[in-house]
Amino acid sequence: MIRVSGLSRQYGEALALNRVSFEIPAGQVCGYIGPNGAGKSTTVKILTGMLRPTEGTAEVAGFDVTANPLEVRRRIGYVPETGPLYQLLSVMEYLTLVGTLHHLPPDEIHTRATKMLQLFCIGDSANKRIDTLSKGMRQKVVISAALIHDPEIILFDEPLSGLDANASRTVRDVVRGLADQGRTVLYCSHVLDVVERLCDRVIILNKGEIVADDTPTALMAAAHRGTLETVFRSLTSDENQEQTAKEFVDVVRSRGTQQ
């Protein structure tokens, strides 16, 4: 379970998150979507205990993130939107390091890591150095590392980044399967058709505030609009996007006329 109450975060003068509250029960996949800069990653970083809120509280698996960050870290599986991987380690060395930090026995780490890599079709890369992998392969390692200790709470920030269609499908089904077995999932993504199909519930964040919180079906029905993408646009964009694209093309093509 994740419980967030009156959560705010300022960076200097800028308010990135403004009194956000929600509760995600065990077994639920909650999509967390919003335009770039809406505050999604800030929320997730607070939930991991990496970032302190300026105001409000966040509780993960029954532990306050500020008071008990270590208890929280034990129970979360976190896929950061970007983040350092230990580039010079091999895939297996990295997964072993992560498993060891979670106090898993070495043989169990090896068995789990080997199986996960096989299922992601990168079994033969287990001994390759991480800095020699493609972006998508690296993302598979990040996801495997996030799940190796069977976390109670799953915090995925754009997990499909760089993944091919097969791997995306696998990750989607894994997330669903883990939620069906009682795990709690906060799923940040810009891939709205996946969010629409995968999530039991969707929170839309805009400029640090929640502007919608419901099931995908209810959001789409209430807005009389066809897809989650159109709902998203109507709640978070005040611009005419066709016009924006046209003007963008004009800017790109304007060089010759200015010379």
Query: Where on the chain is the footprint of ligand ADP (CB under 6 A)?
Result: 11, 16, 34, 36-42
Residue closest to 94 by CA, chosen among 54, 140, 57: 140
Using CB distances below 5 to 8 A depending on partner kind, what does residue 37 bind out of ligand ADP, Mg ion, none?
Answer: ligand ADP
Using CB distances below 5 to 8 A depending on partner kind, what does residue 144 bind out of ligand ADP, Mg ion, none?
Answer: none
CB of 185 to ligand ADP, least distance (A): 17
Q: Rank residues 89 and 235 by Cβ distance to Mg ion and give the closer one.
A: 235
| Structure-token pair, residue 104 | 């898993």
CB of 32 to Mg ion, least distance (A): 10
Phi (first) and psi of residue 21, to 5 degrees: -135, 135
Using CB distances below 5 to 8 A depending on partner kind, what does residue 95 bind out of ligand ADP, Mg ion, none?
Answer: none
Question: How many Cβ atoms from other residues are within 10 Å of residue 211's Cβ?
Answer: 14
- Give the integer Cα–Cα distance in Å for 122 and 132: 13
Residue 190 binding Mg ion, by CB under 5 A:
no
CB of 38 to Mg ion, least distance (A): 8
Q: Rank residues 152 and 158 by Cβ distance to Mg ion and give the closer one.
A: 158
* Beta strands in the chain, from DSSP E residues, in sequence order: 2-11, 14-24, 29-33, 55-60, 63-64, 76-79, 153-157, 184-188, 201-206, 209-214
Residue 92 contacts residue 112 (beta carbons within 8 Å): no
Binding residues for Mg ion, total number by CB under 5 A: 3
Q: Rank residues 15 and 119 by Cβ distance to ligand ADP and give the closer one.
A: 15
Contacting positions for Mg ion (CB under 5 A): 40-41, 81
